[in-house]
């Protein structure tokens, strides 16, 4: 059976969204695409119901329950105001619009945030392909030396040369957006943020971003709570 836990207490953010969203996702620690949605809600202090499916029960629920909520049969699914929201990046962009926060202000800023989110998405796709591969012993180290390195180097260049990003610490400098969450999350799931950001030593601008995300008061509180599971 999936477990459900209420996180945080309803706030004005919940009024803006129109309720308490229920997030249906894997019970995989604090990892995955769905975690980015949880993290945005934590940062915004928006109460949510965290429903988690174990890897064992997921395959059956996928064909019986999930298919009725989302014909594409992917998670996260967010139930809010009698709607079933799907596609994690679209959900983040939608919440950003409703909250009038977590995105750029001008078309140029919004494009840049979108582009960085998409880059992180491309990275995550390749990461998962290598990590969840039956031949993981070979494919994952190959990914770490190859694609992952290319993304880390490319992001380091982008964030130090782009006019919006170079002052830091976030993608848009002082303004925190959904793309910082997405980028943080893939670095976290690749175990690059832990142990004082050991894995990011060669990428100081990325380390600066990661440190700034973790320093945000509500995210810091989340990570110190029992809702953060590694």
Residues at the site binding another protein, with contacts judged by CB under 8 A: 71-74, 85-87, 89-91, 93-94, 97-98, 107, 110-111, 114-115, 117-119, 121-122, 125, 129, 150-151, 153-158
CB of 150 to another protein, least distance (A): 7
> What Rg do the C-alpha atoms of the chain give, in angstroms?
17
Q: How far is CA 163 from the centre of its chain?
A: 24
CB of 112 to another protein, least distance (A): 8
Q: Is residue 112 a contact partner of residue 104, using CB atoms and an 8 Å limit?
A: yes
Q: Is residue 48 a contact partner of residue 7, using CB atoms and an 8 Å limit?
A: yes
> Nearer Cβ to another protein, position 8 or 103?
103
CB of 137 to another protein, least distance (A): 19
> Nearer Cβ to another protein, position 79 or 227?
79
> Nearer Cβ to another protein, position 69 or 221?
69
DSSP for residue 227: T
> Nearer Cβ to another protein, position 60 or 118?
118
Q: Is residue 18 a contact partner of residue 79, using CB atoms and an 8 Å limit?
A: no
CB of 103 to another protein, least distance (A): 11
- Which segments within the chain are labelled E, that is strand? 3-7, 22-26, 48-53, 77-80, 83-86
């Amino acid at each position: 059976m999936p477990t459900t836990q209420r996180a945080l207490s309803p706030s004005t953010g919940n009024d803006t969204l129109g309720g308490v969203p229920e997030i249906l996702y894997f019970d995989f620690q604090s990892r995955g695409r769905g975690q980015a949605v949880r993290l945005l809600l934590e940062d915004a202090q928006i109460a949510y119901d965290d429903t988690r499916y174990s890897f064992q029960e997921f395959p059956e629920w996928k064909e019986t329950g999930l298919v009725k909520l989302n014909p594409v049969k992917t998670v996260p699914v967010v139930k809010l105001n009698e709607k079933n929201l799907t596609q994690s990046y679209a959900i983040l962009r939608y919440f950003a619009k409703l909250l009038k926060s977590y995105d750029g202000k001008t078309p140029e800023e919004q494009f840049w945030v979108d582009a960085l989110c998409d880059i992180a998405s491309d990275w995550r796709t390749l990461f998962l392909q290598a990590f969840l591969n039956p031949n993981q012993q070979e494919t994952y180290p190959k990914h770490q030396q190859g694609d992952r390195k290319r993304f880390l180097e490319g992001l380091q260049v982008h964030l130090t040369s782009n006019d919006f990003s170079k002052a830091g610490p976030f993608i848009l400098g002082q303004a925190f957006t959904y793309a910082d969450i997405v980028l943080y999350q893939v670095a976290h799931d690749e175990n690059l943020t832990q142990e004082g950001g050991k894995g990011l030593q060669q990428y100081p601008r990325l380390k600066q971003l990661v440190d700034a995300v973790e320093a945000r008061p509500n995210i810091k509180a989340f990570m110190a709570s029992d809702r953060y599971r590694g």
